[in-house]
Each structure stands twice: as C-alpha cells, then as structure tokens.
Amino acid sequence: MRLEGSIGTGLSCVVADRHPEMLESLALLLEHEGFTVVGKASTGRDAVRFLETRQPDLLVLDLRLGAMTGIDVARAAARLGLTGAIVLHTSEATPKLVREALDAGVGGIAREAVPPTSLLKAIAAAVARELYIDPAFGDPLPGSGQ
C-alpha cells in the first residue's frame, strides 16, 4: 500500500514495536514510503536510546513497549527536544489514552490493522503537522469534534 506521493522522501524515522515481525514489517513499510529508517527498537528504553543520538523526523511507536509505553517514549522525546512527528499505533484508544498521547506530543493515533491504511494516514497527517485519530476508535474525545 502506498499513499499518493511519497510521504517520507528525505525524512528519517525511528520505529518501535515489541513484536519482531511487526517491527520488521513496519520498517519495510516506512522504507517503501520513502523514509530512511535510522533506528528499530523492541522496547521503550531502546527507542529512547536511539533518540538520545538521533533526531528523526518521524517516530512510530507501538503502545506497549515493555516497561515503557509508547506514550512514555513520546514524553522522553519531548524532554530530549525532538521536533519530529510522533505516531502511536494501538488496538485500543480510550479517551484517557488519547488525551495522554496528545499531551505527550503524539500527532497521529492509528489502529493496528492489516492493511496499514490507518497507520499511513496517521503518518501523513503527523508529518504535515495535522492531527489524525483513526475513526474506527469512534469519538475518543467526546465533544471535541474529533
């Protein structure tokens, strides 16, 4: 699957997922979309280590990353001065989780699914500095119009 145009041409990214097969699939997908994958992590701590030495244009995070969550990694990215886009992919999105993610600087929240349409839409929006929350989650922020 490819979005119209290459959304990642010339952009670097770090991807983190606790499942090795998903991590490799995400990295291949991102490379297919034109991104240069500069780091792959299977834990939140490993993702933060990458962020200490790299300033990627995009960070794609699984919600669950061992002792840390993707939201914890997003907070660490903010503390480290990361200015790149952050996308979280998850199978759940409660209003509390969405609020925490947005407060942590996440710009896209995608539903884990095959094909990865939601993830690609979230990435495109986040890179464009727009907000994307997968509509499959319903209205995670009641009254927000989101």
Q: Which residue ranges in the chain fall short of pLDDT 50?
A: 1-4, 145-146
pLDDT at 5: 54
Name all domains of the chain by residue range, CATH numbers in brackets. 12-135 (3.40.50.2300)
- pTM value? 0.89
The two structure tokens encoding residue 86 = 């952050």
pLDDT at 31: 93
Question: Tens digits of per-residue pLDDT, 9-42?
Answer: 789 999 999 999 999 999 999 999 999 999 999 9
pLDDT at 95: 83
Angle, CA of 32, 84 and 68, to the nearest 5°: 90
